[in-house]
Amino acid sequence: MKIFVTGGAGYIGSHMVKLLGKMGHEVIVYDNLSTGHQELVSYGKLVVGDLADKEFLKDILAHFRAEAIIHFAASIVVSESVAEPLLYYRNNVSNTLNLLEVVKELGIPYFIFSSSAAVYGIPEEVPVKETTPLKPINPYGYTKVVDEKMLEDMTFAYPHFHYVALRYFNVAGADPEGKTGQISKNPTHLILRALKAAKGELEGLEIYGTDYPTPDGTCIRDFIHVMDLAETHLLALEYLIQGGKSGVFNCGYGQGYSVREVVEMVKQVTGKNFPVSEAPRRPGDPPVLVADNSKIVQTFNWHPQFNDLEFIIKTAWEWEKRH
């Protein structure tokens, strides 16, 4: 197929592009390189462009004759969304609207959307189901809710249009073959920060909150390997092509690890005993955030390959050591 990948020079997008290339699909990566990296694009053609430039976007899509869109191009740092909310509404909502208007005009039938567990906020039930009420607590989460609603409304208005929104939990790891991985100068994700502490790029690692109602007092999160997540996008596209109903799906393994467990595993994998300090809770961090993944397992016949915390960290560490 001819598949158009926005944000394909970024962390998750570049893994998706690699998988699509290996599967024999024709790929165009559309990325403004604000947070993406040209060297991560291992397959397909990279077009440097911005979703805000609607006419250029339309020209590229029309010329390529895209059959499906996989949309990763979003701003994703929660703390930044609180400090700069309009930036997030501009990029995550307005630019997605531009893309969807072009999709409608050109009659492109399939759309896979990168959503987030941030739409749930602090859920009252764990594990979290897709039917759990959406109560985001930051602008980033709100933008994802708005985008999902736009997609849902499009399916009612335009019968040719079909979508899947994948609600990611905590994405981590790197390509086991070492072709791509995560590059971040100011990482916010736990595993990457711990690895940078192990490398000595950070003076140490802070654990935010040690008095949560969990076995060791730290938050519990559901970590999914980035290659399993990329594979899920491919399964979602195949599902739509075969006539599957549009909708939303949680993307997580359905099990969690505490912050302390992750830190200990990073120390074990790296062999580095970096300093760890305790800090107060961050506002809005739920004690436990774990996916109920039964819908995606049953609907897509999903069998993830890399559900292993040690393997997730090993692949991330191998990548981090080289970059």
Distances 103 to 151, 163, 198, 239, 248 between C-alpha atoms, Å: 11, 12, 44, 19, 19
Compute the Cα dihedral for 95, 96, 100, 103 and give only its sign: positive
Q: Which of 166, 49, 58, 185 is nearest to 119 (CA)?
A: 166
140 is catalytic: yes
Structure tokens, 278: 């305790």
CB contact at 8 A, 26 and 44: yes
The CB density around residue 300, as the number of other CB atoms within 10 Å, is 18
Q: How far is 305 from 303, CA to CA, in rounded Å?
A: 6
Strands, sheet with 288-289, edge to edge from the N-terminal-most edge strand: 257-258, 220-221, 288-289
Catalytic residue among 140, 142, 163, 212: 140
CB contact at 8 A, 139 and 95: no
Catalytic residues: 140
